[in-house]
């Protein structure tokens, strides 16, 4: 036993470390953990690296998946900043004086989200009528999570179908679904099919209910913000802003709203203020909404959130600037359009199946059904898009394909060559 431990035990007046656990009754004690002994660092690194080597990355295998997680290029500066251990080994900035750096970075993140979304306020990330309208064409896990988070509210969801020709929300169906019991309407732009939702104004005009719009933050660079259309709340997946896919986590929940809703907003929020000397300073604010103050009446139970991803997003947006972000957004559209056109040329395939403007995803149909195509591609070391049949039975012959600036010409050529086999 190291000598400082002996000294400390003596100081307390104890004989052994076991004495420190004398208050744990014998009936609940365990002799030890039933796990192997520890290993040296190099052995662990080798073992975990080797285990993970069984994964095929999107570099090993051209992959055309999106659906909420995207393989955008991340400038090395982003990781250099989030790897600053002053940031990543800190916690929630409860003590503002010693945490100004993180607080300013998070406030800048909030400001950037407001700019992208056209809202007044944003939180530093997360995770009330009777019926909330949601699109039927919605990523299935979003629907499933929503259901679990509505349990305590008494709010039910009602689905609004999409227009079979355009892939946008069916406005006729929306009007049928709207009623006095509706407290909110949620739509996405671009929507689940990658199709731009061009009817934001019409949807806003159709109802006085809370209007929530889900966005892709990169598309926002060239698309009018939901705030321009009278949205109350804007949400979105922030992973494309400088965070790798990481097999689906961590993710960054963007949440921004109009000023009138800020005192009901969930999660951590940073405010601008001043210090005792009158200098500009930042601190967490509106904490009376939060669990550590308001407990069961809190607006959410959020404690740990996704701050480091917010820092990554702020860094990513700063490195790109408006010029770079617009370039990325435009490039994504051109690439998706080009890819869709190339697929569409192959006999038997239709892409995109919905007419009109898309962002970086689109739906591909094969006349004999997509699942067989998907399996064949996998055998050839190419990963096709997300098969849609499980969620939307009418699209069982289709899949959602995505592209980003990271798809090489070779990757695209390999996909097209394999699809040719189904001509």
Partner 1 sequence: MSFRQAYWDEPLLMEKRSAPEVPIDVSELVPPKLRRVGLAIPNLAEFDVVRHFTRLSQMNFGIDTGFYPLGSCTMKFNPKFTEELAALPTVARIHPDQDEATVQGALRLLYELQGILAKIAGMDAVTLQPAAGAQGEYTGLLIASAYHRDRGETRNQVILPDTAHGTNFASAGMLGYDIVEIPSKDGRVDLKALGSAAGDKTLAFMLTNPNTLGIFEEHVLEIADVVHAAGGLLYYDGANFNAILGRTSPGKMNFDIVHFNLHKTFTTPHGGGGPGAGPVGVKKALEPFLPVPLVSLNGRGYHLDYDRPKSIGKVRAWYGNFALLVRAYAYILRMGGDGLREVSDRAVLNANYVRHRLQGVLDVPFGSLRKHEFVASAASLATKGIRTVDLAKRLMDFGYHPPTVYFPHLVEEAMMIEPTETETKETLDAFVEALTKIVGEDPDVLRSAPHNTAVRRVDEVRAAREPILSARMAKAAKPAPS
368 contacts 348 by C-beta, under 8 angstroms: yes
| Nearest to partner 1 of 2, 423 (CB atom) | 2
Q: In the bound complex, what is the minimum distance in angstroms from residue 353's beta carbon to partner 1?
A: 18
| Nearest to partner 1 of 54, 409 (CB atom) | 54
Q: How far lies 189's CA from each of 22, 136, 194, in Å?
A: 60, 14, 8
| Nearest to partner 1 of 179, 298 (CB atom) | 298
Which residue is it, tokens 């909110």?
A: 184
Q: In the bound complex, what is the minimum distance in angstroms from residue 258's beta carbon to partner 1?
A: 11
Classify 292 as helix, strand or coil: helix
Q: In the bound complex, what is the minimum distance in angstroms from residue 301's beta carbon to partner 1?
A: 4
| Nearest to partner 1 of 95, 421 (CB atom) | 95
Q: In the bound complex, what is the minimum distance in angstroms from residue 347's beta carbon to partner 1?
A: 26
Q: In the bound complex, what is the minimum distance in angstroms from residue 149's beta carbon to partner 1?
A: 8
| Nearest to partner 1 of 170, 290 (CB atom) | 290
| Nearest to partner 1 of 97, 176 (CB atom) | 97
Q: In the bound complex, what is the minimum distance in angstroms from residue 208's beta carbon to partner 1?
A: 22
Strands 210-215 vs 182-189: parallel, antiparallel or unpaired? parallel
Instruction: State phi, psi for 355 to the nearest 5 degrees.
Output: -80, 150
For residue 189, what are the contacts with CB-CB under 8 A and spacing of at least 6?
A: 196, 197, 200, 213, 214, 215, 219, 223, 226
Instruction: Report the distance separating Cα 230 and Cα 343, nearest Å.
Output: 37
Instruction: Report the distance separating Cα 198 and Cα 60, nearest Å.
Output: 37
| Nearest to partner 1 of 27, 409 (CB atom) | 27
What order of strands is seen across the sheet that includes strand 131-135?
121-122, 253-257, 233-237, 210-215, 182-189, 131-135, 156-160
Q: In the bound complex, what is the minimum distance in angstroms from residue 255's beta carbon to partner 1?
A: 12
In order, the DSSP letters of 302-371 are --S--HHHHHHHHHHHHHHHHHHHHHHHHHHHHHHHHHHHHHHHSTTEESSSS-S-BSSEEEEEETT-SH
Q: In the bound complex, what is the minimum distance in angstroms from residue 188's beta carbon to partner 1?
A: 13
Question: What are the tokens at 327?
Answer: 């370039």
| Nearest to partner 1 of 297, 423 (CB atom) | 297
| Nearest to partner 1 of 61, 179 (CB atom) | 61
Helix (H) or strand (E) holding 188: strand 182-189
Strands 253-257 vs 233-237: parallel, antiparallel or unpaired? antiparallel
Instruction: Report the distance separating Cα 113 and Cα 106, nearest Å.
Output: 10
Q: In the bound complex, what is the minimum distance in angstroms from residue 212's beta carbon to partner 1?
A: 17
| Nearest to partner 1 of 20, 421 (CB atom) | 20
Instruction: Report the distance separating Cα 225 and Cα 113, nearest Å.
Output: 10
CA atoms within 13 A on the CB side of 25: 2
Return the axis-axis angle of helices 100-117 and 307-345, rounded to nearest 10°. Answer: 30
Q: In the bound complex, what is the minimum distance in angstroms from residue 10's beta carbon to partner 1?
A: 10
Instruction: State phi, psi for 158 to the nearest 5 degrees.
Output: -130, 130
Q: In the bound complex, what is the minimum distance in angstroms from residue 91's beta carbon to partner 1?
A: 4
298 contacts 289 by C-beta, under 8 angstroms: yes
| Nearest to partner 1 of 7, 181 (CB atom) | 7
């Amino acid at each position: 036993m190291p000598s400082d431990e002996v000294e400390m035990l003596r100081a307390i007046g104890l004989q052994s470390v076991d004495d420190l656990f004398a208050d744990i009754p014998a009936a609940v004690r365990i002799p030890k953990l039933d796990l192997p002994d520890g290993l040296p660092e190099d052995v662990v690194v080798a073992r975990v690296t080797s285990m993970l080597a069984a994964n095929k990355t999107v570099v090993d295998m051209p992959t055309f998946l999106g659906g909420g997680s995207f393989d955008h290029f991340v400038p090395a500066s982003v990781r250099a900043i989030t790897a600053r251990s002053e940031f990543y080994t800190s916690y929630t900035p409860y003590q503002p004086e010693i945490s100004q750096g993180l607080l300013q970075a998070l406030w800048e993140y909030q400001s950037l989200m407001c700019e992208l979304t056209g809202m007044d306020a944003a939180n530093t990330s997360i995770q009330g009528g009777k019926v909330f309208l949601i699109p039927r064409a919605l990523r299935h896990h979003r629907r499933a999570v929503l259901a679990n988070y509505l349990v305590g509210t008494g709010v039910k969801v009602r689905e609004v179908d999409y227009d079979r020709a355009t892939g946008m929300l069916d406005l006729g169906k929306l009007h049928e679904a709207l009623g006095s019991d509706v407290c909110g309407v949620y739509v996405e732009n671009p929507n689940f099919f990658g199709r731009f939702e061009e009817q934001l104004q019409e949807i806003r005009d159709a109802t006085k209910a809370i209007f929530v719009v889900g966005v892709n933050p990169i598309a926002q660079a060239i698309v009018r913000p939901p705030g321009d259309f009278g949205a109350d709340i804007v949400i979105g997946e922030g992973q494309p802003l400088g965070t790798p896919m990481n097999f689906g986590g961590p993710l960054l929940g963007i949440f921004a709203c109009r000023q009138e809703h800020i005192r009901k907003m969930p999660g951590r929020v940073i405010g601008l203020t001043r210090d005792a000397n009158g200098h500009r300073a930042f601190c967490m604010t509106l904490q009376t909404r939060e669990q550590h103050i308001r407990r069961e009446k809190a607006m959410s139970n959020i404690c740990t959130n996704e701050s480091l991803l917010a820092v990554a997003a702020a860094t990513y947006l700063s490195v790109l600037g408006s010029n770079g972000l617009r370039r990325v957004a435009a490039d994504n559209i051109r690439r998706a359009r080009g890819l869709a056109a190339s697929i569409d040329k192959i006999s038997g395939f239709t892409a995109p199946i919905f007419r009109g403007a898309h962002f970086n995803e689109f739906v591909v149909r094969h006349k004999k059904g997509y699942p067989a195509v998907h399996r064949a591609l996998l055998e050839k070391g190419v990963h096709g898009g997300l098969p849609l049949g499980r969620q939307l039975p009418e699209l069982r012959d289709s899949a959602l394909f995505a592209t980003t600036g990271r798809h090489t010409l070779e990757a695209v050529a390999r996909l097209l060559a394999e699809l040719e086999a189904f001509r």
